Amino acid sequence: MGKLFVVPTPVGNLEDITLRALNVLKECDVILAEDTRTSGVLMKHFGIETHMQSYHKFNEHKTTARMVDRMKAGEIIALISDAGTPSISDPGYMIVRDCISEGVEVECLPGATAFVPALVESGLPNDRFCFEGFLPQKKGRQTRLKQLSEETRTMIFYESPYRVVKTLSQLAENMGNERQASVSREISKLYAETVRGTLEELTNHFTENEPRGEFVIVVKGRD
């Protein structure tokens, strides 16, 4: 029987990868990568020559069963995403679920994920928090925002640069302009930045300063 390793990869600085992750990627039989071109940069940087195969949200349904069969036959497979920990707002849940149901061992290595640094750097309460990932883009968005307006834990959201101002303004509409929040972008990269303030202040900041990079929004829970 083989095994599935879920391997976190850097969200920014390539040096954030762990020594164990490098060893797993070098020694496994195949690497399932969300985008082989993106991951190819990482592999080339560290001299990893293991064969990569695409595994993303558009093909995971038809690919998963075949990969599970290969692990049942004895292969060791590593799953990576473009950045961070697979299955956290990235493909991964399906193959982990099916491995477990088929008796294939699964091990997720500890490592990079974007929301933990953003939460810690926010300065907001982090003893209790909820990870919301990406809000629904259309259907159910307003319903979810209304529900979250009652949330007392610190809330964490992922957002693209194209929707970050819209999301901040909608959070302000539902939670109040004065609600404290923090926005981190380009975590662990050269132009990493964390901006803190009220939702109104943050909305104004990113209206005046063009949003660039990937964003993590952290919002204080209701008092």
Q: What is the pLDDT of residues 206-216, one digit of tens each?
A: 999 999 999 99
Grade residue 34 by pLDDT with cuts at 50, 70 and 90.
very high
Strand-pairing partners, residue 158, are 216
Q: Can you give the pLDDT at residue 122?
A: 98
* Pairwise CA distance, residues 154 & 60, whole Å: 32
Q: Can you give the pLDDT at residue 148?
A: 98
Average pLDDT over residues 180-197: 96
In the block, residue with structure tokens 């919002």: 219
* Pairwise CA distance, residues 191 & 212, whole Å: 10
Q: What percent of the chain has pLDDT over 70?
A: 100
Grade residue 202 by pLDDT with cuts at 50, 70 and 90.
very high
Grade residue 152 by pLDDT with cuts at 50, 70 and 90.
very high
Average pLDDT over residues 169-178: 98
Average pLDDT over residues 176-196: 97
* Pairwise CA distance, residues 161 & 211, whole Å: 5
Average pLDDT score over the chain: 97
- Reference 87, options 100, 76, 75, 74; nearest CA is 100
* Pairwise CA distance, residues 67 & 149, whole Å: 42
Its CATH architecture, for the domain 115-219, is 2-Layer Sandwich (3.30)
- List pLDDT tens digits, range 54-87: 999 899 889 999 999 999 999 999 999 999 999 9
Q: Which residues of 91-119 are buried (b: 16+ CB within 10 A; e: fewer)?
A: bbebbbebbeeeebebebeebbbbbbbbb
**Residue 44, C-beta contacts closer than 8 angstroms, at least 6 positions apart:** none
CATH number for the segment(s) 3-108: 3.40.1010.10
Q: Where in the chain is the domain with CATH 3.30.950.10?
A: 115-219
- List pLDDT tens digits, range 97-139: 999 999 999 999 999 999 999 999 999 999 999 999 999 998 9
By the 10 Å C-beta count (0-12 exposed, 13-18 middle, 19+ buried), 223 is classed as exposed
Q: Are 17 and 109 in contact (CB under 8 A)?
A: no
Grade residue 143 by pLDDT with cuts at 50, 70 and 90.
very high
Q: Can you give the pLDDT at residue 43?
A: 98
Taking the whole predicted model, whether its pTM rises above 0.85 is answered as yes
